[in-house]
Structure 1
Amino acid sequence: MEAFVSQDKVVAMVSRTGRELQRYRKGRRQVVGCIPYRYKNDVQTSLESLEELQVLIITSKKGKAMLFPKEKLGKWSFKSKTYDTFYEGYMFPLLVQDQLEFWPEQHVRQRIWMSISEAKEVCQHWWMKEALERLVNRLTAQKYGRVKQVVVFEIRLNTSSLVALP
Structure 2
Amino acid sequence: MVVLVSRSGRHLQRYNKGRRQVVGCIPYRYKDNFDLSMADEDAFEVLLISPQRKGKGLLFPKGGWEKDETIEVAARRETIEEAGVCGDIEGKLGTWYFENKNGDTAYEGHMFPLLVNEELDLWPEKDIRERFWMSVQEARKLCQQGWMKEALEMLVSRLTSQRRRTKIDLFSRINRGSGGHGTVLCLGCRAQVLTPPPPSPAEEA
Of the three residues 37, 41, 54, the one matched with 2:28 is: 37
More strand by share: 1
- Give the TM-score taking structure 1 as reference length: 0.71
Q: Which residue of 1 aligns with 2:7?
A: 15
SS state of the match for residue 129, structure 1? helix
What amino acid does structure 2 have at the position aligned with 1:119? A
Q: Does 1:92 align with 2:112?
A: yes
- Give the TM-score taking structure 2 as reference length: 0.59
| Distance (Å, rounded) in 1 between the aligned partners of 2:32 and 2:102 | 40
Q: Give the paired residue count.
A: 135
> After TM superposition, which residue ranges in structure 1, 4 or more long, deviate above 6 angstroms?
none
Structure 1: 5+ residue stretches without partners? 1-6, 147-166
More helix by share: 2
How far the C-alpha of 1:104 sits from its partner, in A, is 1.4
Structure 2: 5+ residue stretches without partners? 63-90, 167-205
Q: Which residue of 1 aligns with 2:42?
A: 51
Within 5 Å, give how 1:1-166 maps onto structure 2: 7=1, 14-18=6-10, 20-41=11-32, 49-65=40-56, 66-70=58-62, 71-82=91-102, 84-145=104-165
SS state of the match for residue 22, structure 2? strand
Q: Percent identity?
A: 53
SS state of the match for residue 24, structure 2? strand
| Distance (Å, rounded) in 1 between the aligned partners of 2:102 and 2:48 | 21
| Distance (Å, rounded) in 2 between the aligned partners of 1:30 and 1:97 | 27
| Distance (Å, rounded) in 2 between the aligned partners of 1:15 and 1:43 | 38
Q: Quick check: 1:38–1:55 contact (8 Å CA) kept in 2?
A: yes
Q: Which has the larger radius of gyration?
A: 2
Q: Quick check: 1:16–1:22 contact (8 Å CA) kept in 2?
A: no
| Distance (Å, rounded) in 2 between the aligned partners of 1:94 and 1:48 | 21
| Distance (Å, rounded) in 2 between the aligned partners of 1:25 and 1:16 | 20
| Distance (Å, rounded) in 2 between the aligned partners of 1:35 and 1:51 | 16
Tell me the C-alpha RMSD between the 2 structures: 2.4
CA, structure 1 residues 122+43, in 2 after alignment: closer, same or farther (shift >3 Å)?
closer
What amino acid does structure 2 have at the position aligned with 1:26? K
Higher normalized contact order (CA 8 Å, seq sep 6+, divided by chain length): 1
CA, structure 1 residues 43+144, in 2 after alignment: closer, same or farther (shift >3 Å)?
closer
